[in-house]
Structure 1
Amino acid sequence: MCGAIIAGLLLLALLPSALAESWQGALQRGGTLTVDPGSRRALIEQDGRERPLWDGVHRLEDGSTVTIRDGIAVPTAAMLDTWRGGPVPAATYIDRYCQQLVRKTCGFDNACNHGAACLRARTLLAAEGREQRDLPLTAGSHPQTDTSGRCRAALAEPDFTACPSLTAVTGDSRCRALVAQACGEADACATSAACDAARQLLALETEERLENDDPAVASLTGRQCLEALDNPFFAACLTANPAANR
């Protein structure tokens, strides 16, 4: 467990913010504001010259504002979208645990529709639906019930196995390629820190895809995996000498 935590922390340190694009916005009073994704330093380019932008609240041409403190920009939603490579997918199912369980066990493509785990998950989803219908309208559109809690716990239970199609090579997982690269053929480098970190990312990505409305859209962790493919830490497993990858 300790090794897994260390690998995860190391991964966060290794994913370079330089891979993200600088955010730019047109200032209402003229000039272009540029914010670096790593340092968050704010610079204004005007009349062919670039200089730090003074502290305060600055209005952009679109009417939005950017706050600068000690030369550092307070990140806005637009900046975060740019640095993440686009808007984060909507987490429609984030608290709909029975639907997550069905997606996990049956597959996004229903490839495991007749499996025992899938059938049990669908039974729980139906039970949750009956409980929700018995609740008053004031409970909301997707209220939590006793069965909701059961589904939440089941997401971590080994009896509710994940459908293999979730992380298939030909599927929409971006982290699957990172696992293949870091762990190697036949898991030759399975004990390496890089392989462990890649598997952690794959697990996180799967959780995000279960929560997101469209599992085919790259999640935040999926984008990190795409960036990590070029990171030396996740160099291809040397099958002939797996010890070199440790």
Structure 2
Amino acid sequence: MQDGSQISIDPNTNKVTRNAEGVSSPLWDGVHSLDNGAVIIVRNGVVIKDVAIIEAQREQERDRLNAACMQLVRKVCGEHNECGDQPACDPARQLLAMEREELNESWAGMVLESSTHCLEGLGNEAFFKSCERSSGEKTPCEKLQLKVCGNQNQCSERESCGAASQLVVMEKQDKFSVPGGFTYATAQCRDLLAKQNDFFELCE
């Protein structure tokens, strides 16, 4: 530590001990700066979390909130504006415009009011209904489903077809909750399409 003492943290209990001049004692509660620049928080003699981790989690939450309006527009209006004529599309776009204005005027890290409204809108299917129209372009998981289940669903009995269909459902559920619509399921399907896989074989 900065006062020259050493600390040790029990990996099992997270209890932290201060060693100074050969004497060991529990480290007092509070925020402590270490020689390596890290900052730890101690409560009841236990390290609760690294401040950098806490700040990273807060930043991630702010990013999630401040991307909410773009997600809402994509949800309601469609990935390629397929549902641009829907009643909820204009309000979603207005919220997006408000969010951008607020971003320009706000200080870094501030959670925006418009973003909060958009986050609520993402969960509101009564007014902000999901666009069901397709641009015709298949998603990676839909391509995988087509590959393993067949054009006429002739391989629907395969276990791999069921798995591919589950990935399609996961992709649809998650695509409006992540920036860019690039979900974990999407990434998995892309990998499975790119590599030879004995389980997800082509339906012939």
Q: TM-score range by the shorter chain?
A: 0.3 to 0.5
Which structure exhibits the higher relative contact order, with contacts defined as CA atoms closer than 8 Å and separated by 6 or more residues? 1
* TM-score between the two structures when normalised by the length of structure 2: 0.47
The structure whose Rg is larger is 2
* TM-score between the two structures when normalised by the length of structure 1: 0.40
